[in-house]
Chains A and B, each alone.
Chain A
Amino acid sequence: MQRVFSTQAEASNKAKILQQALVGKRAAQDTLHKRPRVGEEIIRGLLFASGIFSVLVTVFIVVYLGVEALGFFSANAWLPSKTAVVNESVPTFTLREAEGAINASDTSLLLQVEAGQTLPYTPNTLIQIETEIMRVTERRTASVVVQRGINGTQATNHAGGASVLALQEVQVKTPNAITVSDTEIVLNPGNGQAFQVGQIIRVNSEEMRVLTVTPDSITVERGIEGTTAAAHEADVTLEYADTPTLLEFFTTTQWQPQIGAFGILPLVNATLMTTAFALMVALPVGLGVAIYLSEYASARARSILGPIIELLVGVPTVVFGFFALEFVTQGVLRPLFGAGVVNFQNTLSAGLVVGLMIVPTIASMSVDAMNAVPRALREASYGLGATKLETTVKVVLPAALSGIIAAVILGMSRAIGETMIVAIAAGSGPAFTFNPFAGAETMTGHIARISGGDLSYQSIDYESIFAIGLVLFLITLALTQISTYITRRFREIYD
């Protein structure tokens, strides 16, 4: 190859290198290596930066979700302070004589009901017997089921014939105006029971900490949490701060952050239900498809049928959502079980279609796992007189098990993270239910619905979706890691 050197100096330099090459190989190499390749290094740096970028993305995800989720756990939902007073308009009932007597642990109250009377205590009504306050959880014809000793009262024994008073909750308001320097807030008699020592309360935009509580007044520390003390008019509603705790977040069963209900369980439950239904479809179908493609189908059939299954991957999830709503619910479930039984949005239809969506994930990864099982194992099995089915079930499947489990876990992770199908077909409101025909919103569906509107960045709703998102992220991350671990750790290597 001819090369033209631009300058004399360069030419002589090259000549020297060549000469050295003849003299000593080692020395020539050193000279060649000394030549700096600036362009190459810049390109290498750029490429490295793009590689690092993906790590940055993860860091951003963790940081942003984490920061906002922390914001959620320190955020305050402001709820009006309420106190329970006797509702005069509701007739008073009494516990039945003798058999109506209750001890501190009874939860069912037998009441004296005349023929034609119905009990006025709807669920969630507060009732009072002597000094104890209870919450009605279920109303029957002549009895009610209650939660005993709430609002700081003690469950005690009550004799038969004790009268039952219905209570109603009223908002606590300031009867008098408050000046800038007041530290005592006078309340209407009895309203002090709405407050606890240490509670953060809010009057207009000023936040205060409750220091002492008497039945008729509270003393407070004014202008805390960065707010400033200000004068307030009379007749202003007092609000108290409800801050979510981790325990409440993971154990209670109502999710409505604006009113201080911070239990993520209804959302998690709906997610688990749709995922379970999804696996009911995806496990048999996905594995069946995989076994057929890998063990039974001819090479020609495989080349045609494989891409058809891959087509399912390409279908956008919003289309699957439409399918779940229009076909599975309207066309199958409702005619089958009755329109009265099957809600328009239900977890079953969403789950079944999510299952359909993850069939290709499970199938293609399982096919890969089964293809990796060496031919020799199959032939040994045939040689011992096993049929094709026996070879498949007793030799190939156990050998490929780790890959198949990894595939199922990955499919599960996709089912949990799937949003549009459940947003369209599963439900549009959190509900804690195990009924597959009832609508219930999943974690992802809730995030999508809440963030769909114009959400204020300061609201507790906004921060709450990041708390859900963090839980979701951690679950899927864990599943992906487990899947990777299983494939690496339990892979059978036949070489």
Chain B
Amino acid sequence: MGYIQEGLYKSTIAKRHLQGAVWKRLYMASFGVAILALILLVLTIMNSALGFVVLEYRIQPETISERPLAELNAEELVAVLQTEVPGQLIPLVAKYLANNMDVQVFADTPIEQSLAGKNYPAEYATTTPRDLSREERPLVMGQILASNLTALQLNTIIEVAVLEADVVETYTLFDGLLNRAAIEQQIAEDFPDEATRPELQFHSWLNTSIFNESAGDNPLTSGIRTALLGTLYVLAIVIIFGFPLGIMAAIYLEEYATKNWLNTVIENNIRNLAGVPSIVYGMLGLQLFVRALEPITSGAVFGFTGNGRTILSAGLTMALLVLPVVIINAQEAIRAVPKSYREASYGLGATKWQTIWNQVLPAALPGIMTGTILSMSRAIGETAPLIVVGAATYIAQDPDGFFSKFTALPIQIFTWTTRPQPGFKELAAAAIIVLLILLVVLNLTAFILRDRARRSLQA
């Protein structure tokens, strides 16, 4: 009692408040660490995706054009292509304008079909490239290239197709800006001959051409096209198979399940499934879809050939992976619908299913959507199960259905990250930016929907 009466507590009070203030700062600092890490993450990626490169040309740019290539317009650039590589024009058109079509198929398809929606000379609409005479081919194809592509795109094409550019070394953005002198000195040492000495130039690895190119050997002409398409295909399977199953299970657990041992097992099991490492799902997919169900997943029963390592297998594996996430989120959304909605519906004589279908589900829909979108972003970002299921690391052709071999955006990033040649790590960074943008858009949608759901249920 003396402690308070004699005011003894006053002697320690300053110290206690100081302690409080110090620890408050520490708690804030730990928050700062998390934010800082996030910022550094983004900076590291940007720093790699935008950077400086040293390009070595097999053929010097001066030998093919008197003026610098960057100053030429589209027609002049096409003229360069026509004189230097006349035989490559058809493959180029097939690749860049006909959705990466196989060259042989492209040559036998009428132009109006293969280039639907693109600009092409009307008089050649019904002819196939093979029908054109040897002299006509470069002219017509050149005209098509010039009228569809920008000068910038043509420049990149020329760099690789004509000049045979090769990335010798890459530098990050900061490195290139801060240590420029040292780097240039290094280049001067590596290339003593001044006439062919390559220049240090800025290069944004994140550009529009990565959306048109597939993975290849030259980082300058590699892109994420097949990978991005693969991801979208896999996502489609997840939406078709995973979401309905998950939402149905959630409805059962929330609306029908009584408290008995079986339902407790189901409920507990779902929590456990959510904690299973994703790579274990990959192994499940490998055994179940790739091997046991091979006749179906390889498409053999539908007359396709190939093995079970298909988009369908990958998508089904992903569907299993996101199932617990979908169920748990949908359960929460359904649980959030007030009991009064149901009672009012029963009161009007509706059956159980009528109540669920007409009252509960519409009210829970935004919440369910949030959960499904979040699990979509999980499906987009997951890599490990796809590796185990058997993603191909190198595919140049667009997937043509659910039974084709697959690769996905994160797989492509992983492959590029672990490749030692200069240029691929930077390409991985560019692909990461695309992936992150995709995810941010999805998460923002989910966030907005969640917000709206909360408000409408409160109102």
Q: Is the CB of A321 within 8 A of B417?
A: yes
Residues of A with C-beta under 8 A to B91:
none
Contact A322 B277 (CB under 8 A): no
User: Contact between B417 and A291 (Cβ–Cβ < 8 Å)?
Assistant: no
With an 8 Å Cβ cutoff, the count of chain A residues facing the other chain is: 87
Query: How many angstroms between the C-alpha atoms of A305 and B35 in the bound complex?
Result: 9
Q: Mark B310-349, 1 if CB is under 8 A from A, else 0.
A: 0000000000100110010000000000000000000000
Contact A420 B287 (CB under 8 A): no
Stretch of A49-57, A203-211, A222-230 on the interface side: A49-57
| Chain A residues numbered 40-96 whose CB sits less than 8 Å from any CB in chain B | 40, 43-44, 46-48, 50-55, 57-58, 60-61, 64-65, 68
Give A220 to B249 CA distance when docked, in angstroms.
59
Task: Choose among A55, A309, A315, A477 the residue that contacts B265 (Cβ–Cβ < 8 A).
Answer: A55
Q: Which of A389-441 contact B (CB under 8 A)?
A: 389-390, 410, 413-414, 416-420, 423-424
B38 touching A312, Cβ below 8 Å: yes
How many chain B residues touch A (CB < 8 A): the figure is 88
Binary interface encoding of chain B residues 261-285 relative to chain A, with 1 for a CB under 8 A from any of its CBs, else 0: 0010110111111011111111110
- Min CB distance B410 to A, Å, is 5
Is there an interface contact between B28 and A296, defined as CB atoms closer than 8 Å? yes
B262 to chain A, nearest CB (A): 8
CB contacts (< 8 Å) of B24 on chain A: these are 296, 388-389
Q: Which residue of B48, B271, B384, B425 is within 8 Å of A480 (Cβ)? A: B271
Provide the residues of chain A in CB contact with B20, threshold 8 Å.
387-390
The reply to whether A53 and B432 form a contact with Cβ atoms under 8 Å apart is no
Instruction: Classify the interface of chain A: helix, strand, loop or mixed.
Output: helix
- Check if A476 sits within 8 Å of B276, measured CB to CB: yes
Decide: A444 and B277 in contact? CB cutoff 8 A.
yes
Q: Are A316 and B16 in contact (CB under 8 A)?
A: no
A308 to B288, CA, bound (A): 38
Could you tell me which residues of chain B, from 372 to 400, have a CB within 8 Å of some CB in chain A?
377, 380-384, 387-388, 390, 393
User: Within 8 Å of chain B (Cβ to Cβ): is A292?
Assistant: yes
Q: Which residue of A lies closest to B382 (CB)?
A: A316
Residue pair A292, B320 in contact (C-beta under 8 Å): no
Q: Which residues of A contact B276 (CB under 8 A)?
A: 61, 417, 473, 476-477
B269: contacting residue among A54, A331, A423, CB under 8 A? A54
Q: Report A-chain residues with C-beta under 8 Å of the C-beta of B96.
A: none
Instruction: Please give me the residue from chain B that is nearest to A345 by CB atom.
Output: B418
B435 x A420 contact (CB < 8 A): no
Q: Quick one: which of A51, A65, A309, A481 contacts B252, CB cutoff 8 A? A: A51
B429 at interface (Cβ–Cβ under 8 A)?
A: yes
Q: Which of A40, A317, A327 contacts B40 (CB 8 A)?
A: A327
Contacting residues, chain B, for A472 (C-beta < 8 A): 277, 279-280
Residues of A within 8 A of B388 (CB): 447-448, 451
Whether A57 lies near B320 (C-beta < 8 A) is yes
Q: A292-B31, A316-B410 are in contact. Are A307 and B447 (CB under 8 A)?
A: yes
Judge if B45 is at the interface, Cβ distance under 8 Å. yes
Sample of 5 further A-B pairs with CB below 8 A, known A295-B27, A312-B34 = A48-B256, A54-B324, A55-B269, A326-B44, A484-B271
Q: List 27 A-B contacts (CB under 8 A).
A: A47-B248, A48-B256, A55-B269, A60-B288, A61-B281, A285-B34, A314-B377, A315-B381, A316-B410, A319-B436, A322-B413, A322-B429, A323-B44, A327-B40, A385-B9, A387-B19, A389-B19, A389-B20, A417-B280, A419-B278, A444-B279, A448-B387, A452-B393, A469-B280, A469-B283, A472-B280, A476-B277
